[in-house]
Structure 1
Amino acid sequence: MLFAIRFTDHQSEYNVRKHYLNYHLDWLKQKRGVVLAAGSLREKHNDQPVGALWVVKAEHEEEALSIFSDDPFWVHGLRASVEVLSWSLAFEDMLKD
């Protein structure tokens, strides 16, 4: 199954993002088969990130919720909240493994 995971950041914790960005990116590289797409969200192109959006492949919602438990951004308190939604592709060939 596919899930969309939407993170909202603590805006007062921007230094956490700066400090742990490379660790976070290395962590994401290790999750490539599970985290199919990931990136920061901003209100406008050059603004500070307000959160992130991931597309995740997991067997069930509980697995999707556990995927980010050791992500440096999560562990070090950047994330204020998370929303996990089941996601269906409009066309099955849009994302290829």
Structure 2
Amino acid sequence: MLFVIRFTDTPNSLMLREQHLEAHISWLDERRDTIRVAGSLREEPGSAPTGALWVVEADSKREVSKLYTSDPFWTNGLREGVEIYHWSKAFPDEQTPV
């Protein structure tokens, strides 16, 4: 199943993000088979991130919850909130590189 995860960052946490970015990217890289797409969300190009969006392939919502709680951004307090949604692609057979 596919899921979309939307994270909200703690306000004014750019320094915290920068401190743990390398560990976070390494963590994501180790989970490429599960986390299909990941990236920060910004109000404007070049502005500080306000959160992130992931597309995850997993068997259950519970599995998704277990996944992100070991992310260095989560364990070090960058994330203020998280929303998990089941995602149904409009064109399920289409493989689109992002």
TM-score exceeds 0.5: yes
Deviation at 1:94, TM superposition (A): 3.2
**Using the alignment, how far apart are the partners of 2:93 and 2:66 within structure 1?**
26
1:73 aligns with 2:39: no
Deviation at 1:69, TM superposition (A): 1.0
Shift in CA distance, 56/95, structure 1 to aligned 2, threshold 3 Å:
farther
Identity of aligned residues (%): 45
Could you tell me whether the CA contact under 8 Å between 1:56 and 1:64 is conserved in 2? yes
Q: What residue in structure 1 maps to residue 60 of structure 2?
A: 60
- Structure 2 residue runs of 5 or longer lacking an equivalent are none
Q: What residue in structure 2 maps to residue 7 of structure 1?
A: 7
**Using the alignment, how far apart are the partners of 1:46 and 1:9 within structure 2?**
16
**Using the alignment, how far apart are the partners of 2:82 and 2:63 within structure 1?**
14
Partner SS state of residue 6, structure 1:
strand
Partner SS state of residue 17, structure 2:
helix
- Structure 1 residue runs of 5 or longer lacking an equivalent are none
- With normalisation by structure 1, the TM-score equals 0.94
Q: Deviations over 1:29-69 (max 9, x none)?
A: 00000000000000001110000000000101111111111
Q: What residue in structure 1 maps to residue 23 of structure 2?
A: 23
1:44-55 alignment, distance < 5 Å: 44-55=44-55
Amino acid paired to 2:60: H
Deviation at 1:91, TM superposition (A): 1.1
Deviation at 1:19, TM superposition (A): 0.5
**Using the alignment, how far apart are the partners of 2:63 and 2:74 within structure 1?**
16
Runs of 4+ in 1 over 2 A off after TM superposition: 93-96
Amino acid paired to 1:76: N
Q: CA RMSD in A?
A: 1.1
